[in-house]
Amino acid sequence: MVRVNIGVIIFVLGCIVLLGYAVIRQKGEMDRMLAKGYERIHADAAAEASSSIFIDSMHPWITSDKPGTCPICGMELIEVSKEEAEAMQAALTADVVKVSLSPQQRVVGNVALEEATRIEWAERIPVVGEIVIPEDATRTETTWVSGRIERLFARIVGSYISRGAPLLEVYSEDLVAVQEEYLIARQTVDSMDAAGYPDLAESSRRLAASTERKMRLLGLTDAQIAAVTKTGQIQETVTVYAKYGGEVLEVYADEGMYVPAGGEVLQVAQLNPVWVELHVYESDLAYVGIGDKVRLTGAGLPSNGATGSIFEFRPTLSESKRTLVARVKLLNPSGRLKPGAFVEGEVFKQNGEAPLVVPRNAVLITGKGARVWVPSPDVEGQFEPRKVEIGRVMGENREYYEIVSGLREHQQVVSGAVFLVDSEAELLSVAVPAEEVPDNEAVDEAR
């Protein structure tokens, strides 16, 4: 039987105890070192996380500590500083909702900026109308004596008769009677002078002068009276001459008809110049006045059009068309401009000061007014609304709105994607009250 050395056993057990104690101590030291390293790394990560955050610029209340997408619109979250995120979120509580867009969103949404500029502009107001006969150019040719028309020289509508040209030949019992009275008076004057009765001769001379005036009142010319005096013969038919002349518009009589004294025979008109009656819409009346230049195109006009000036307006509007008639005179020496022909053109209104304009696609018109969106000077990529008062539509292609108030010259505005920006504002605030949209001039003064 082997005898066990008690001293050896005690030595071995002591070594085992010392070794275990060393291992336990080493493990504790390593745990402490690992804990310190973890705390340092975690602190660095926390510090980094506290200085940046992932946010949706369109919906800044959506935040995350890691990349992702917005659950509302699906856009990628962007990494911004905590201060920028707070500024975006603070905009939600302001009186005016502001919209922030990242560079990527501005590119995808086609958000462009254009300046409010002044343009040289002569107001061009479209008008339509027709050529008409001047109201003071129409005349009616009449007979000065009752009788039967033996011959009518102008019988075709559209023909032209000159002033003083033969109009008709008429047989008139009144003219025959006055010629007989005139010839008898003339013969009595001669016979009384020959017989030596000066008093009777003078009386007959006054009767002859009276009948001569009567013949003139009945329409006989001096030449016709002289012919009766020279020949001593009564003219059974007398030629009536045109008093006015012009283009024949209407024929009221015909050969063989009996007409009373003052009876209408023809209606004639002088068609040089002619009038153009243009219909100006009620909404354009504030911009059109007497003296404004008009360029017209239409049938009978030169290929490059014709120009004239408005010289008068009709006193009342057309109730059915809601237009006011403006009148323009045009020379018509060739007679090519025919009454009834339609024309179209533009009224040119030269303004004293070049108007301030922005593109039409930059203006949003609502039931509470008009507004535009401008870059915010406080935050890059942020936009805020401006209430504006718009005037006329301008530009060669009617592509501009006149800005009456609310913007300064060279102020940038969002164009093209204004509906996108405004829709985001609607999502942010449910609605952007027009009365809360600030006036740009007041904002600029405050800044």
* Final residue belonging to a domain, choices 350, 374, 407: 350
Supply the pLDDT for residue 430. 44
363 shares a domain with 310: no
114 shares a domain with 224: no
Upstream peptide bond of 273 is cis (omega within 30 degrees of 0): yes
280 shares a domain with 164: no
284 shares a domain with 211: no
Supply the pLDDT for residue 435. 44
| CATH code where residue 335 lies | 2.40.30.170
Q: Is residue 62 part of a domain?
A: no
In 104-159, DSSP assigns E strands to 112-115, 117-118, 122-132, 138-142, 147-152
Q: How many residues does the chain have?
A: 447
Supply the pLDDT for residue 446. 47
405 shares a domain with 313: no
Residue found by looking up tokens 């030449």 in the block = 223
279 shares a domain with 131: yes
Q: Which residues pair with 141 in a beta bridge?
A: 266
Supply the pLDDT for residue 434. 43
223 shares a domain with 171: yes
368 shares a domain with 297: no
| CATH code where residue 226 lies | 2.40.50.100
Helix (H) / strand (E) element for 103: namely helix 103-108
DSSP-H helix ranges across 150-197: 173-195
319 shares a domain with 378: no
Output the CA–CA distances (angstroms, integers) from residue 384 to 88, 193, 429, 439, in the order listed. Answer: 12, 112, 13, 11
391 shares a domain with 315: no
Alpha-carbon 209 to chain mean position: 68
Residue found by looking up tokens 């996108």 in the block = 420
Supply the pLDDT for residue 149. 93
275 shares a domain with 262: no
- Confidence (pTM): 0.51
Q: Is residue 337 part of a domain?
A: yes
Q: Is residue 177 part of a domain?
A: yes
Q: Is residue 72 part of a domain?
A: no
Output the CA–CA distances (angstroms, integers) from residue 5 to 2, 11, 12, 13, 354, in the order listed. Answer: 9, 10, 11, 13, 120
Supply the pLDDT for residue 130. 94
* Final residue belonging to a domain, choices 267, 290, 318: 267
C-alpha 376/C-alpha 146 separation (Å) is: 90
Give Cβ neighbours of residue 140 (< 8 Å, ≥ 6 apart). Answer: 264, 265, 266, 267, 268
pLDDT tens-digit profile, the chain (447 residues): 445 567 666 766 666 666 666 556 665 555 565 455 545 444 444 444 456 788 876 666 678 888 888 776 677 788 878 777 776 666 554 545 677 677 776 676 667 888 999 987 777 788 999 999 999 899 999 888 889 999 999 889 989 999 989 999 999 888 899 989 889 888 888 888 888 888 888 888 888 888 889 888 887 888 888 988 888 888 888 888 898 989 999 999 999 999 998 899 999 999 999 999 999 988 888 888 899 899 999 888 888 889 999 999 999 988 888 899 999 999 998 888 999 999 999 998 766 678 899 988 888 887 778 888 888 877 777 778 888 899 888 877 888 889 998 888 998 888 876 656 666 555 555 444 444 455 555 445 544
Nearest to 381 by CA among 96, 80, 93, 71: 80
Q: Is residue 155 part of a domain?
A: yes
258 shares a domain with 190: yes
Nearest to 160 by CA among 272, 79, 59, 236: 272
Number of H helices, E strands in the chain: 8, 26
For strands 166-171 and 147-152, give the pairing. Answer: antiparallel
The number of distinct structural domains making up the chain is: 3
Would you call 309 helix, strand, or coil by DSSP?
Answer: strand
Q: Is residue 74 part of a domain?
A: no
Which range marks the domain in which residue 179 is found? 142-267
Would you call 282 helix, strand, or coil by DSSP?
Answer: helix
Q: Is residue 89 part of a domain?
A: no
Q: Is residue 315 part of a domain?
A: yes
* Final residue belonging to a domain, choices 297, 321, 350: 350
